[in-house]
Amino acid sequence: MNLFDPTPRTDDSATRREAPLAERMRPRTLDEFSGQEHLIGHGKPLRVQIERDTPTSMIFWGPPGVGKTTLAKILAHTTRATFIEFSAVVSGIREIKEVMTEADKASRSGMRTVLFIDEIHRFNKSQQDAFLPYVERGSIRLIGATTENPSFELNAALLSRCAVYVLQPLDDAQIVALLQRALIDKERGLGALELTAEDDALVRIAQFSSGDVRRAYNALEAAARLAVDAEQTILTRALLQDALQQRSLLYDKSGEEHYNLISALHKSVRNSDANAALYWLGRMLRSGEDPMYLARRIVRMAAEDIGLAAPEALNLTMTARDAMDFLGSPEGDLALAQAVVYLALAPKSNAVYTAYTAVLADVEATRAEPVPLHLRNAPTKLMQSLGYSEGYQYAHNLQDRVADMECLPPGLQDRSYYHPTDEGREKLLKQRMLEITQIRQKKKKP
C-alpha cells in the first residue's frame, strides 16, 4: 500500500480511549494549542504562515513536551497536506529517502506532503544532505524537531533553507490549566472518573514537569490510577507523591543543556554568588552529571578566576577532587559543595589567566626566537666556547636576589604580561613586583 493512497477515515474512539492521556489530549487546532504565543498568537509569524497556507520547511527547536510534534500535525491538517512522521532514533535515512521520492511524484499531481522528522539532530550532517534537493524543489515541507541547538547539530545548507522557530517550556499556570481541562474532559480526558484535586496538587505536578506537558499528563494519569485503585475521588498531595516518585530533571550530558548548566555554575562562582553556585552544582549532580567532570571544572575555576588572589583555592579544589574520587557520589558531593562555596566567596583575580592568554598570543604571533645565550647551560667546552652561559648572574649570590638580566628573547624584551590586582594575596604580589622593578632600575643606573 502506498503512503499517498487515500484511505478511509475510521472511528478510532476505542483506540483513543486506550491511548495515553497525553496523546488523547493532544490539541487538534491552533485555538486548542497552549503556549508558544510568541509564534502562534494572533498575528504572529508561524500562525500567519499556517493560516495563509504559505509555510516553508522549518526546524522546531525546544525541550521535550512543548508541542513540536503537535504543531507539525496541526500545520499538516490545516494546510490539507499528507502528514508523515519519522523518528531519527528508529528510522534510517534510506527509508526516508524512499518516502521523499514518493512525495516528489505526488507533488506533480498537486498533493502536498509534510515530512516530520523527530530528533533530526540524530542524523549526521552528511545524512542531512539527503533532504536538500526535495526541500529546494518544494516536493516536501520538512519539519525537523530537535532538542539541540541547530547551529551546532544541523547542516548549514539545510539550515539556510529552513525557518528556525524556538519553542519555550510552558509555565506552571499554563500547565495547571491544561491539567484542569484534562480532569473535566469526559470525551478525551479523565472526566468520566469524576476526580477532583487538592488546591496545590496540580501546581505540584506543574512544578514537577519543568515545562514538559507530556510529563505533566503522565503524572496526572498515574495519580488518577492510584486514586481509582484506592477508591478515592480526590487527588491529594500524598497520593501525588507516590505517583511522581522521583523527579527527572531536563538534562543531556552531551547536549546544550549540559553546557548551559556548567556555564551557569562557573559564572555564579565568578560573580561571588555562593547560593546560585550551590544551586547549579546541585542541579547538575541531581541530574546525573559525572561528578569527576564537575571536579575538574571546579579546579579550573580556581586557576582561572581566583588565581593568586587566594592561591590556597587550587589546593582546596584538588583536595575536593581527591575526596570525590575516594568517596564517590553522593558521599563526595559535599566536598564539591564546600569547594564551590569557597571559590564563590574567595577574592577574585584573572590576572594569571589574562597573562597566560597574552603569552600564547605572542607565541603564535612572533617568531620562535632562540634562547638568549646567557640563559643557556654550558656543560661542554664547545658550548662554553660558543658563549653559552656567558653573562649569566646567579641571583642567590646577589644581595637583593635580583639580577639586572633580561630573560625574555630580544624581540619581546620589556614585555609585561602579569598585572596583579589588589585582591587578596595578589596585593602582596603586586607590591613585590614593584620592589623587584625598583631594584632592577637601581642596578641599571651608572
Decide if 340 contacts 268 (C-beta within 8 A). no
What's the grid cell of residue 324? 570525590
CA-CA distance, 86 to 77, in Å (whole number)?
Answer: 17
Per the domain annotation, does 331 fall within a domain?
yes
**Residue 87 lies in domain:** 33-166
Predicted TM-score (pTM) of the model is: 0.63
**Mean pLDDT of the chain, nearest integer:** 87
Interval 371-381 mean pLDDT? 90
Among residues 84, 59, 81, 68, the alpha carbon closest in space to that of 27 is found at 68
Q: Which H or E element spans position 197?
A: strand 196-197
Of the residues 220, 244, 268, which one is the last residue of a structural domain?
Answer: 244
Q: What is the mean pLDDT of residues 293-316?
A: 95
What number of other Cβ atoms are within 10 A of residue 235's Cβ? 25
* Dist. CA 264–CA 340, nearest whole Å: 13
Whether residue 1 is predicted with pLDDT greater than 50 in this model: the reply is no
Residue 14 lies in a domain: no
Same domain, 144 and 41: yes
Number of domains in the chain: 4
Domain boundary among 313, 345, 377: 345
DSSP category for residue 142 = E
Percent of residues, the chain, with pLDDT higher than 90: 45
Is 372 among the domain residues?
Answer: yes
Q: Is the pLDDT of residue 11 over 50?
A: no
Region 234-249: mean pLDDT is 73
Strands 196-197, 82-87: pairing kind? unpaired
Task: Work out the number of other CB atoms within 10 angstroms of the CB of residue 117.
Answer: 25
Distances (CA, A) of 75 to 10, 23, 37: 21, 17, 16
Cell of 298: 571546579
Are residues 390 and 305 both part of a single domain?
A: no
pLDDT at 37 over 60: yes
Give pLDDT, residue 274: 94
Lateral strand order in the sheet of 82-87:
82-87, 113-118, 141-146, 58-61, 163-166
Q: Do 86 and 125 have their domain in common? A: yes
Domain CATH for 183: 1.10.8.60
Determine, yes or no, domain membership for 121.
yes
Question: Dihedral of CA 394/400/404/406: which sign?
Answer: positive
**Which residues are registered as beta bridge partners of 260?**
none
To the nearest whole percent, how much of the chain has pLDDT over 70? 93
- For residue 15, is pLDDT > 70? no
* 307 and 231 assigned to the same domain: no
The reply to whether 93 and 162 lie within a common domain is yes
Neighbours of 222 (CB within 10 A): 18
What mean pLDDT do residues 262-266 have?
93
What confidence tier does 5 reach under pLDDT thresholds 50, 70, 90?
very low
Assess whether 38 and 140 both reside in one domain. Answer: yes
Are residues 208 and 263 both part of a single domain? no
Instruction: Compute φ and ψ for 435, nearest 5 degrees.
Output: -60, -45
Closest CA to 35 of 260, 186, 214: 214
- Domain assignment of residue 316, yes or no: yes
Shared domain for 51 and 147, answered yes or no, is yes
Q: Are residues 237 and 303 in the same domain?
A: no
Length of the chain (residues): 446
Least confident range of 126-135, 235-244, 274-283, 373-382:
235-244
Q: 26 in a domain, yes or no? A: no
User: What is the C-alpha separation between 415 and 102, in angstroms, rounded?
Assistant: 68
Whether 269 and 147 share a structural domain? no
Residue 58 CA to its chain's centroid (Å): 22
The one-letter code for the residue type at 399 is Q
The predicted model gives 362-388 an average pLDDT of: 88
Q: Which domain CATH number covers 79?
A: 3.40.50.300
Indicate whether 199 pLDDT > 80: no
Q: Are residues 202 and 310 in the same domain?
A: no
Does 9 map to a domain? no
Domain stops at, among 143, 166, 189: 166
pLDDT of residue 66: 92
